Amino acid sequence: MQNFTSTDVAVLALELLPAAALGLAGERVAKTAQRWPRSVRLYLPVIFAVPYVLIASIHQFFSWPWFGLYAGLPLVVTVLLASASAADPEQHGSWQDALILLVLGLAVDLRWCEGAWPVGLAGLGKLLLVDGALYGFVIIRQLRGTGFDFHFRWSDWKSGLRELVFFAPIVIGLGVALGFLHPHANIPRPSMILTWVYIFIFIAVLEELFFRAWIQNLLERRLGSRLDAAVARKMALVITSVLFGLSHFNKRSAHFNWRYVVLATVAGIFYGRAWRENRRVPASAITHTTVDAIWSFWF
Kindly state the greatest CA–CA separation across the chain.
Answer: 59
* Among 77, 72, 71, 63, CA closest to 115: 63
Q: Percent of the chain at pLDDT above 90?
A: 87
**Predicted local distance difference test score (pLDDT) of residue 127:** 95
pLDDT tens string 145-187: 999 999 999 999 999 999 999 999 999 999 999 999 888 878 8
Measured CA to CA, the distance from residue 8 to residue 59 in angstroms comes to 10
Please tell me the predicted confidence (pLDDT) of residue 89. Answer: 95
Share of the chain above pLDDT 70, in %: 99
**pLDDT tens string 85-135:** 999 999 999 999 999 999 999 999 999 999 999 989 999 999 999 999 999
Closest CA to 216 of 280, 287, 262: 280
How would residue 1 be classed by pLDDT, with cut points 50, 70 and 90? very low
Predicted local confidence at residue 253, as pLDDT: 73
Q: Which of 54-63, 115-124, 249-258 shows the lowest per-residue confidence on average (mean pLDDT)?
A: 249-258
Beta strands in 169-299 (DSSP E): none
Query: So what's the pLDDT on residue 2?
Result: 62
Phi, psi of 207 (to 5 degrees): -70, -35
Predicted local distance difference test score (pLDDT) of residue 113: 93
Q: Is the pTM of this model over 0.85?
A: yes
For 35, residues 6+ apart whose C-beta sits below 8 A from its C-beta are none
Q: Is residue 275 pLDDT above 70, yes or no?
A: yes
> In sequence order, which residues have a C-beta less than 8 Å from that of residue 230 and are 6 or more positions away?
none
Residue 230 pLDDT > 70, yes or no? Answer: yes
Look over the chain and give the mean of its residue pLDDT values, rounded to a whole number. 94
CA distance 200 to 165: 18
Q: What is the pLDDT of residue 190?
A: 86
Task: Summarize the confidence of residues 77-87 as an average pLDDT.
Answer: 97
